[in-house]
Amino acid sequence: INEPNFDGSYILDFGDVIEIQLIGQDDTTDAYSIKRDGSINVPDIGKIFLSGLTLNEASSFIKSKINITYIGTEAFVSLINIRDINILIAGNAFNPGIYTLNGNSNMLHALSMAGGIDSIGSYRNINLIRNGKVIDSLDIYDVLIYGKSNFTKSLRSGDSILVNPVSKIVAIESGVLRPGLYELKDSETFSDLIRFANGL
């Protein structure tokens, strides 16, 4: 399983390490690990709280602080180390358990690490649980059939992913371009089934 790449939308949190390079009167390059309270401590500036900010937002925020404190100095900010997170995968995955993942992982990455969904698991009802509450749900049909890629929140350490059991399976065997077994939600109809099967 390839680790997911990160970009400017990556959300910073405890354990990430950023590098700040200052170019001006005194050139310096220093690495700062984000502490448990979500901050880094930069000399002459003090605490800068970065947890919950995207990499782009954090970069702009740090540059503004540097410009106020150091006249004629330009700052360059980069992420040099990504935190690890521990995720519990429960329910109808092939290999449920606790997994250590890259901090930029999402639900699909986690499910891949757990071997995917077992024969009685739902592809339409996978819950992301944080602090005892369902904060997001993944419908894999959105990914596999409709090609949606912006589908779930980034994971945090301590999150749980629950693969619920499948509820309604319908077989369509002829007269369509993609015959097979499909899982339908209660609100879906025969026309949805035809669409999943790629049309007549």
Q: Could you read off the pLDDT of 129-140 as tens digits, one per residue?
A: 999 999 999 999
Q: Which pLDDT value is given to residue 154?
A: 80
Q: Which pLDDT value is given to residue 1?
A: 53
Task: Give the tokens for residue 91.
Answer: 């329910």
Residue 165 has pLDDT above 60, yes or no: yes
C-alpha distance from residue 174 to each of 14, 169, 170, 181, 185 (Å): 53, 16, 13, 12, 22
Q: Which pLDDT value is given to residue 104?
A: 85
C-alpha distance from residue 66 to each of 25, 42, 72, 98 (Å): 13, 10, 10, 41
Identify the residue whose tokens are 């930069």. 42
Reported as a pLDDT band with limits 50, 70 and 90, residue 152 is low
Q: Which pLDDT value is given to residue 151?
A: 59
Average pLDDT value for the chain: 91
Most confident region among 62-71, 90-99, 104-113 by mean pLDDT:
90-99
Short-list 4, 174, 189, 15, CA closest to 85: 15
Contact present, 2 and 8 (Cβ < 8 Å): no
pTM score, two decimals?
0.80
Q: What is the mean pLDDT of residues 90-119?
A: 93
Long-range contacts of 144-149 (CB under 8 A, 24+ apart): 145/196
Residue 4 has pLDDT above 70, yes or no: no
Short-list 95, 127, 102, 92, CA closest to 1: 102
